[in-house]
Chain A
Amino acid sequence: MSLEVTLITGRTVSQGEAMERGKDLDDYTKAAAVCELDPADMEKIGINEGDTIKVSTGIGEVIVRAVKSRQYPHEGIVFIPMGPWVNSITDMPADSTGMPPFKGIPVKIEQAKGEKVLSSHDLIEKLYLRGNEKGEGVR
């Protein structure tokens, strides 16, 4: 079962606090590798607080933890704090302003039971250094 919604990204106070404390710490993963969903959307596909979910766009997919939004209602809109997790699925700018589309991204949300939320370090290692399962890194 999946849900098609619009993704927006941005700062949260917890993300900012954790980022300043150190991006290599668990707190940063807890603060930024999350997806805030409207409770009505969570109900639609049976997602509970703390479940791992897969968020995908045409660019890629990322595993994050589902969180019940405190800033609802915003049915049809999900929020992921700025950080390496969400930016592994954001696209490049295309409107001659230099600004990548960080808000208003069509995404698909699915349950991802058993999948692991990677730390910032491991995510970057996987995406840009070590690469995919075949070891095809960027470098």
Chain B
Amino acid sequence: MKKAKGYGRMVTDVVCPFCGTLCDDLEVVVEDNKIKNVRHACRIGSSKFLAMNELKRPNRPMIRKDGSFEEVDMAAAIEECGRILSRSKRPLLYGWSSTGCEAHFVGIELAEELGGVIDSTSSVCHGPSVIAIQDVGYPSATLGDVKNRADLIIYWGANPMHAHPRHLSRYSVFPRGYFRERGQQDRELIVVDVRKTDTAKLANRFVQVRYGEDFELLSALRLVINGKELEADEVAGVSKEDILELADRMKTCQYGTLFFGMGLTQSYGTHRNIDAGISLVRDLNHHTKFSIVAMRGHYNVTGIGEVLTWQTGYPFAVDFSRGYPRYNPGETTANDVLQREEADAALIIASDPVAHFPKKAVEHLARIPMITIGPHMIPTAQLSEVFIPSSISGIEEASTAYRMDTVPLKLRKVIEPPEGIYSDVEILEMILENVRERRVRQMEREKKAGEGR
């Protein structure tokens, strides 16, 4: 910890808790437990840190009474959470991507205790990528590998200049690496997208694919790379000549990396697009060294996938209703559970499904009792029965998060949380304890009733 010039203290090597890039070189100037300045962060990252001073954060839990929120103490809020969750036959525990792995441990235990469905934002993000990875594997690499070795970078259906603003400068295109001493001059950037995005504007080569035809273009490239004749004059709006050139460039690079984003996972074909992308990279490894990396969105969406996998065997959409974990995307995924109107209560943490789920899913969330845990009054809190404000993981609490390449990093505590505000872990532990106590009381009541007969 250094003394910042002029004022306050400077906390160095801070990890940014916004996107899956997890930039770990931030410097934050703190004075009187207030964040005064942030260095090295992107627009979104600095906004997250600096907004801390401006945000009107609720500092007490709230319960809805007669249609409007009333402030209550923590014990009353936890009691209400325990009541809602214990009564529920099929609770949905959703979110988890903007909090640390320590909260995931407790969340999974709670889901198991309740016999509920636990799902993360992967469900509406890289869920299809996970499905494809289970089908065909994942010839991936760390971002350090890419930085030091790659001379060909491809972003396919990803716009990091908007969603991961420092990705290009830290890991892929601009940095100097061990084998890429001249940085950008030693690398080529290719962008494949339906729009000429701000990332595409920086590319050496931009390939504009027709919407919904990524699978066709990936398949055409595989065909050429595998030595077959391409008979069509154009595929997915891209000329045969361009496809041949692109395939040649991919085959002849020394080390290539294909980064892919929502342009593939959310477009027509979903997991089949990723399957084709992974298969293309596998084919390229017959000619050169090539890797593939998913551009994970939330800073710890990779983390919840890791923790769920090592604890339950499944990466997202895990259903404990039968007493053991089950996983079946399309059935146990959050939107499907809501679409079939099965969930009869919801606990939402570290995400905002009311803002980011389709209307029909939100309509069902509005009908059932919902608990929201998070630092801000977000749209999901607006429709909740209980709102418990929590501290911000990675700023007010130290925690563990996984970067998009599955490298775990320790997030630092930069300032103290406001008085009376608990961490996600503490809140979840209190709810779990309450649910367990209720269960014990219920069992005792049943036992007594049995003895009386």
Q: Which residues of A contact B (CB under 8 A)?
A: 6, 8-13, 16-18, 20-24, 59-60, 69-74, 77, 79, 82-84, 87-93, 95-104, 120-121, 124-125, 127-129, 138-139
Across the interface, B270 reaches (CB within 8 A) one of A10, A18, A95, A124, namely A95
Total of A-B residue pairs, C-beta within 8 Å: 186
B359/A89 in contact, CB under 8 A: yes
Across the interface, A121 reaches (CB within 8 A) one of B329, B333, B362, B382, namely B382
A59/B359 in contact, CB under 8 A: yes
Q: Which residues of B contact A (CB under 8 A)?
A: 18, 42-44, 47-48, 51, 54-56, 119, 123-124, 127-128, 131, 159, 161-163, 165, 194-198, 200-201, 208, 211-212, 262-263, 265-268, 270-271, 297, 317, 329-336, 339, 352, 354-363, 366-367, 376-379, 382-383
CB distance from A69 to the nearest CB of B (A): 7
CB distance from B305 to the nearest CB of A (A): 14
Contacts of A87 in B (CB 8 A): 355-359, 362
The 12 sampled A-B contact pairs (Cβ below 8 Å) are A8-B194, A10-B266, A12-B162, A23-B378, A79-B195, A82-B355, A84-B354, A84-B355, A91-B360, A121-B382, A127-B359, A139-B366
- Contacts A13-B43, A22-B51, A98-B123 given; indicate if A93 touches B266 (C-beta within 8 A): no
CB distance from B165 to the nearest CB of A (A): 6
CB distance from B69 to the nearest CB of A (A): 12
A124/B195 in contact, CB under 8 A: no
A23/B43 in contact, CB under 8 A: no
Distance between Cα atoms of A72 and B200 in the complex (Å): 10
A20/B358 in contact, CB under 8 A: no
Contacts of A21 in B (CB 8 A): 47, 51, 54-55
A93/B47 in contact, CB under 8 A: no
A104/B268 in contact, CB under 8 A: yes
A97/B379 in contact, CB under 8 A: no
The CB with the most chain A CB atoms within 10 A, among B329, B330, B359, B379, is that of B359
Contacts of B163 in A (CB 8 A): 10-11, 13, 16
10 A-B pairs with least C-beta separation? A98-B333, A96-B330, A16-B44, A74-B195, A128-B366, A11-B163, A90-B358, A20-B48, A17-B47, A20-B47
A92/B383 in contact, CB under 8 A: no
Contacts of B335 in A (CB 8 A): 92-93, 98-100
Across the interface, A24 reaches (CB within 8 A) one of B198, B360, B377, namely B377
Distance between Cα atoms of A11 and B379 in the complex (Å): 17
Contacts of A6 in B (CB 8 A): 211
B194/A98 in contact, CB under 8 A: no
A128/B383 in contact, CB under 8 A: yes
CB distance from B115 to the nearest CB of A (A): 20
B355/A120 in contact, CB under 8 A: yes
- Contacts A13-B43, A124-B379 given; indicate if A97 touches B54 (C-beta within 8 A): no
The CB with the most chain A CB atoms within 10 A, among B198, B270, B332, is that of B270
Distance between Cα atoms of A99 and B161 in the complex (Å): 24
- Contacts A21-B47, A102-B266, A104-B268 given; indicate if A93 touches B336 (C-beta within 8 A): yes
Contacts of B127 in A (CB 8 A): 97-99
Distance between Cα atoms of A17 and B367 in the complex (Å): 31
B123/A99 in contact, CB under 8 A: yes
Contacts of B367 in A (CB 8 A): 138-139
Distance between Cα atoms of A102 and B362 in the complex (Å): 15
Contacts of B329 in A (CB 8 A): 96-98
Across the interface, A99 reaches (CB within 8 A) one of B44, B266, B363, namely B266
CB distance from B350 to the nearest CB of A (A): 14
Distance between Cα atoms of A6 and B267 in the complex (Å): 12
